[in-house]
Structure 1
Amino acid sequence: MASIVGFIAGFILMAVGVPLFFALLRLFGFYTVVQERMCKVYVLFGSVVCTLDEPGLHFLWPKLGWKALIVNLVGRCHVVDLRLDQQYLRSQAVNSEEGAPMGIGIWYEMYVSDPKRFLFENADPRGSLAANVSNAAVRCLSNMKLSAMLETRHEMSRTVRAEVSPQSHEWGYKLGSVYVRKVHFRDAAMIRQIEEKVVNRLRQVTSAIRQDGANQVSIITSTAERQSAVEFARAAALRPQIVGAALRKIGEDPEVLEATFELLETQRLLESGAQLTLIPEGQRGELLSQLLAARAASRT
């Protein structure tokens, strides 16, 4: 039982004592740990005594000497984040050369390049950098032609970056990529006018395309009608020649000619719808007298 109690007591002492021991070592500046992409700046009596920007375990006594014992008690340790950061400025107000009120959205990257300047040169370096980017955008991009403002965003991005980079480095910041992501109109009435103009232009283009199509169809139709009329006229001119040649060939044989004319005559009679009375040969006189008598009787 005593061994179990001793084990539990030893475990509790180790669980409490080991972290407390290492905390005391860090408090008296024996060592410190710097994380990846982080920096520690030690300030003692108003001056920077050490800057650690390499990740890993660092022993402060060889670097600071006796100052390591009191730097965490009397001085101060600033932890600076060196990782890449991003920010987006929405709808920065600029005016085009034509006087159109425009809004420009700017996205940019930045990271801390000099921790000392970042801490002591400017009280709010992030806000100052944002204000500097905004002012540079307004100063460099105002009075541009509207067409250039809508089409040359890469050139505009490079212009803003070249304007901001030198001053941002004075504050310990280094500006990375700068990109104009959005260019838009800020006046709602102007947006409606542009929409109306675009709609009207689309209607005009649609009407012009429709009219051009109708004209093309009319040209094709008239050309086809003219060509067909020419071909029909040519066929009508050749018809008498063809018929005459056929009749001439038929006329070379009298029997065929007579049979042809009889056939044509019969066809004409059938097409006319007239009533025909066929009288056998040898009975023409008798039948003719009977017909005349019947017609006279019907009249009386």
Structure 2
Amino acid sequence: MLPFNMIALIVLVVFVLFLIISHAVAVIPQNQVGMVSTLGKYSKKIEPGLHIILPYITRVDRVDLAQVPLKLNEQSVISKDNAEVIISLSLNYHVTDPYKFTFENADSVQSMIQQSRAHLRGIIGTMDLNEVLNGTERINAELSKELDSITDSYGVNVDRINIDTIQPTPEIQESMNKQINATREREAAIAKAEGEARSIELTNKANNDALIATAEANAQAVKVAADAETYRITKENEILSQTSDQYLAAQSIDAFRKLAGSETNTVVVPTSVTDSLGSIKTLSAVVESKKAKN
């Protein structure tokens, strides 16, 4: 049986070998790369797989190349018209340059977050509150454009950036609600006034149309009556023009006979009428008739 000291030495040697071997092997998972530093200085990049390295004098920093989702904390920003809004932002990024990501920046992700917040404040500061609330797509596009020109120095690329929520502060929201209610009341009053004005307009139009129709009807009636009278006179004139002198004389005699039979004591006969009678006998007959009656 081995002495205790020998057993302890063997255990120590095994432990040391285990430590050496464990630090001499580097396993790089898929979608990652290893950035190897020797005595603090970058030496090489290793791909996914099993690699043997010098223990204790080399270090391997694993860099994930897969796309990473990142949700930023809510941020308070001020619009151009001094309205405060709370904005939540999320983005997706992936590492494009492992060397810059590992060695040229102490914390590339945190730097990207700070730049995103700073540019968001700058963009919102050029927009009114209404533009901010209705301009999510514009904000996303401008923010993505700004980050593309900066994040390359961090060794990362922002694949997508999105405004999740834009919420005015309670004070601003209350003010907006009051303004919305006032606008609705004003629009309702305008609609009511326009409706009443339209009703009055239609009523006046109906009354005017009725008056015009009545006037046109009366004018048409007068025209019809005038046409009838004109027709009557025309027809009478036509009949008279076709009547013989003898018929007129007979009518005159009859008229004088009726006149002689009345209570009138004196009968005045114009010369023109006596001439048209064409006979003294006619006048004598009238006079005799008058005497006989007396």
Q: What is the deviation of 1:124?
A: 3.5
Query: For each residue in 1:208-254, what CA deviation from the matched residue of structure 2 results, as whole angstroms up to 9, or x when unmatched?
Result: 12221221222122212221233234435555776896xx99xxxxx
Find the partner of 1:195 among 161, 169, 177: 177
1:172 and 2:155 equivalent? yes
Structure 2 SS opposite 1:83: coil
What is the correspondence of 1:169-248 to structure 2 with a 5 Å cutoff? 169-186=152-169, 188-236=170-218, 238=220
TM (normalized to structure 1)? 0.56
Residue-pair matches, total: 211
Distance 1:95 1:28 in 2: 54
Return closer, same or farther for 1:69/1:106 CA change in 2, 3 Å cut-off: closer
Q: What is the deviation of 1:201?
A: 0.8
Distance 1:223 1:69 in 2: 100
CA contact (8 A) 2:105 2:154 kept: yes
- Structure 2 regions of 5+ residues with no counterpart? 1-20, 233-294
Q: Residue type matched to 2:84 in 1? A: P
What is the correspondence of 1:150-169 to structure 2 with a 5 Å cutoff? 150-169=133-152
Cα RMSD of the aligned pairs, angstroms, is: 3.8
Query: 1:290 matched to which residue of 2?
Result: none
Return closer, same or farther for 1:140/1:207 CA change in 2, 3 Å cut-off: closer
Distance 1:130 1:69 in 2: 34
Q: What is the deviation of 1:82?
A: 0.8
Query: For each residue in 1:19-60, what CA deviation from the matched residue of structure 2 results, as whole angstroms up to 9, or x when unmatched?
Result: xxxxxx99865x96641x22233344333443234x6x57x5
Distance 1:114 1:45 in 2: 22
- Structure whose alpha-carbon radius of gyration is higher: 2
What is the correspondence of 1:61-210 to structure 2 with a 5 Å cutoff? 68=52, 70-71=54-55, 75-142=58-125, 144-186=127-169, 188-210=170-192
Return closer, same or farther for 1:80/1:217 CA change in 2, 3 Å cut-off: same
- Structure 1 regions of 5+ residues with no counterpart? 1-24, 61-67, 250-300
CA contact (8 A) 2:28 2:34 kept: no
Return closer, same or farther for 1:234/1:172 CA change in 2, 3 Å cut-off: closer
Q: What is the deviation of 1:94?
A: 1.8
What is the correspondence of 1:251-290 to structure 2 with a 5 Å cutoff? none
Query: 1:253 matched to which residue of 2?
Result: none
Q: What is the deviation of 1:158?
A: 4.4
CA contact (8 A) 2:140 2:161 kept: yes
Structure 1 SS opposite 2:72: strand
Q: Residue type matched to 2:195 in 1? A: G
Q: What is the deviation of 1:200?
A: 1.2
Query: 1:50 matched to which residue of 2?
Result: 44
Structure 2 SS opposite 1:107: strand
Return closer, same or farther for 1:226/1:130 CA change in 2, 3 Å cut-off: same
